Structures are given as structure tokens and as C-alpha cells.
Structure 1
Amino acid sequence: MPADAAGPTFADLRRRPPARSPRAWRFAGARAASRAGALLSDGLRIGYAEGFDSGPFMAHAYVNRPSGRTTLGRAIDRRLLARPTCVAFRDIRALAELAVLEAIDHSQATRPVVADLAAGPAPYLLHALAARPAARAVLGDVNEATLVAAARAADELGVGGRVSCSRADAFDRGALAALAPRPEVVVELGLYGIYHDDERIEQHFLDLAELVAAGQIVFNVQTCNPEIEHIARVWRNAAGQRCVWRLRPVEQILGYAAAAGYRPRSIMADRHGIYRVVRLVREGG
């Protein structure tokens, strides 16, 4: 279903329900239970400490190994990891790795470079590098600790010599212009849901075309999510604020891409239909 077609709209999610309403009481109870669970569940603890949209939480969801204090803590963690959103995280990791492999295979460069400036732990990209020895990667993120973890993971996979890491903001025009070596493929996962400004994302595609001129872009977009209100009213983001994510129809992002000169080559969805993973190619490329 298209974004905001059912359930609360984005504007609804940004507003708090009336304090005396049953919805407010219900989510207050859910927040209290979730906070209490964080005393035992490693996943909830990481989510509230680092953000449920952070690299450390994504890494925990990817591993999919329930952990925590006591049997009860591990049971709470198992329930968290079985939520449709966390299942979708793992699905799109696999789909993103497939899309990156396809992008590398379709690159005309002898030693293709893949850049991800909002990389997080970047397991999809690191595993793709392990499978394609000629490829290299440039990783960036605003979280220094996440970059350290990604570099360590690259070394463990034996691809550290083909990975460079630097602290960077994916929307920073200066960072895009300074990318070196120049990437043939740009990867952006999880970026468009946590940034709410449509104009910023539209401009970002134009910046990618002008400043990077990559032949291919791999991205994902959250199009619908039955848990979107729970996430907004119970979870916290990396800034310690309410975790309000914006749903967008994939057609909206494809429109921004088309204006920048890119067209879709493949579109894939997770098993719950929460996300779309898209590989774009540049017109004429």
C-alpha cells in the first residue's frame, strides 16, 4: 500500500495524542514496558542508548541472536528481533547485498569503487567486496564508533585493504565533491526514512548527479509499515528524540531520481512489503 494510505499520517505521527486519550494511555504503557525490558534485553538496551535507527541497533538486528540478562531478557530480545520491522531489516540487508553485487558486475570499471556515506555497519557492502575481489569501497558515517566497527568488520572479512573510512554526512555537498577515489556506485540505505524534508532528498539526487556522477545508485525506501506508530511513540532515535520515520511511495523517490537522470533497473521488496530496494542506472550509461 502507498505511504500514509492507512493508519496515521506523517503529520499525525509528529503530533502527540491528547494526554487523556486511550491511545496516549496505551502508548504510555508500551513505553514503560519497553523501557523496563531494556533492563534485560540487549536489543532494547542498545536501542534506547544508541537509537533504534543507529548502526549498533542495526548490527544487533542483522545478527539475529537473542541476548540479554536472564532467560527472560533473552525471550524479550527474541520477541523484539521477530518484529516485522526487524525482519525487514534483515531482508533488505540480503537484498541490498544482491543489488550491490549486480551493480559491481554491471560497472564498466576494471576496479569499481562503491561509496556509502551513511554506511552504518555496512555488512551488505563488505560481504559484496569479499565476493568481488576487484571492487573497493569508501565508507562514511556521522557516527565515528560505527566507522570503527565497520573497519574492524572489514579486516575480519579480509577486505580491509580495499576499504577506506571517513566521518561524513551523506547530504554534505563538500563531502560528495571530495569523494576519492571517485565511485562508480553509490549506496544509500535507511537514509530517506529518517530525513523528513522532501526538498532535501530531491536536491540530494541532483547533487549526486552533479558532484559524483556515479553510474549506479542503490537505495531503499520505507513505503509502508504496520508498526510505524509504535516506532514513533515508543522507540527513540540516535538523537534521543521520538523515532518518527517518514513513509514515502517508491514512485516519489523514482521521480527525484528521474529528474537527476537515473532510471530503475531493479526493484525488490522484503517479505512484509515494508521496504523497496532499488538499483538505478544513469541514463545513457
Structure 2
Amino acid sequence: MGHDTMEKPNLSFDRNGAPGKGTPYAQYIKLDELHSLQQPLSEVPAERSFIVTTQVMELLFGQLRHEWTLAQQALRADDLPAALAALRRGTHVQDVLVESWDLLATMTPQEFNGFRPVFGEASGFQSSAFLHLEFLLGNKNAALLKMYQDSPKTLADLTAVLAAPGLYDDALALLGRHGLAVPDTVSERRYQADDAVAAAWRRVYTESEHAGLLPLAEALLDVAERVTRWRQRHLASVKRAMGGKSGSGGSSGLVWLRRAAEQDVFPELWTVRDEL
């Protein structure tokens, strides 16, 4: 009988002088606020799934930004184990992001068209959290900041990221401190593949004195591969739900998504494989 008593959960809580605020769990994760954020504007059932999926992705974008920022800080401190740990945690976040598209996998064009008019020009393309990640990946485009002219805090944040080293820049800087010849790749423009960077990674893969950097190369490739998977799933989901129509934000829809899916992240880590 004593054993049964120990297995029973505690049903009385110290609410720290805040009665009526729910359980400690509800208070900790802001449960009521969280579930109040799903506010469909139509009667189409699929719209709620669309909103939930989008909100989940936004939360995961924020978590991925957190992990990649920690990885950058570790790389700058020459703490490779900490950087690898952060990148590894980030890949798990990326895996969930990729699988998040399953929540929309069965949406038909009729369902999507049923609520598409209610969100007007809103588009995932406008996500500042997503753009922050793109800038960290080296996919920089200053022209996109125009979207945030009425959001000073967001604009300042993205402007800083645009000018700062990205994740790959910090990895290459670490290679430079280990005696590998790499150019200064920090730029406010989209990263372009460089022969000298490819040569540096080739040495990492082929020279024993640089073998300690090989886990970094593979961890970055894990990140890059998952970015491509996410883009491919995005392309497939949009193609299924809306076909080749223009995006709600004015983009060329499938054309833009297909071009993004074909763009390699951290390109030298892919091309160097031709020579290994």
C-alpha cells in the first residue's frame, strides 16, 4: 500500500501566492497563452492545422538560431567539442522541422484555397526568424530588409546578422587559426564558393595533422543536408497544396522554392567530395 502511495502524482501544489493560475506546468510553459494563439479566420478545418504547423516551425526556427549562435560562440573560443555539441543538438531540431511538413502533407488544393484568401499577403517568406537562419547560413540579401522597415527591433537584429560572420564564416576562421589558408569570407552578400576554401577542406579530409577538424566538416555537412531536406519538403508541400500558382507574398512560388532547394549550403564541403 505504501508503494502505491509513492507512485501517485502530487495533486496539491505550492502556487507561490498565485491562485487561479493553473498547475505549475501550465504556469511554466504559459499553457493558456500558448493555446490562445490559434485563431483561424475561416471555418475551414485545415486552417487550424496550417496555423499550428507554422507556429511550431517558428518556435523551432528560434531554437535552431539559439543552437547555431552557441556553436558560433564556441567556434570563436576555439572550443570545438562545445561547437559540435551545439551543432548536433541543432540537427535534431532540423529533423523535427523537416518532419513538421507531415502535418500538412494531406492538405488538398480545395482545402488550402478555402482559407487562403483570409491571410492576404502573409507569407512564410516574411518570417524574420527564418531570414535570420538564412543569413547565418550565408544566404544573405540586404534587399530583403525592406520588409521590416516598420519593425525597428527586427530590422536592427537582421542588419546586425547581415554584417556579422555567419556560421560557416566562423568555422572557416577556426580553420585559419589551425594553419589552413582560407580567405576572409565575411560579407553582406550571399556566400560564393571559393577554391581556396575547397583546398582547405581537402586538407582536412586528407592530411593527418588536420584530422581533428574532420568532425567539424561532417557536422557542418549534417546541417547543410538537413537544410536541403527542409527546402525539398517545402517545395513538395507547396506543389501538392497549390501547384504552380504565385505565392501569397508575391514570389514566383514553385520556381523560387525549386531554385532554393537546388542551392547547396556550405558548397565546398560538397564539391571537395569529387576529389576524395
TM-score bracket, normalised by the shorter chain, equals: 0.3 to 0.5
Q: Which protein has the larger Cα radius of gyration, Structure 1 or Structure 2?
A: 2
More strand by share: 1
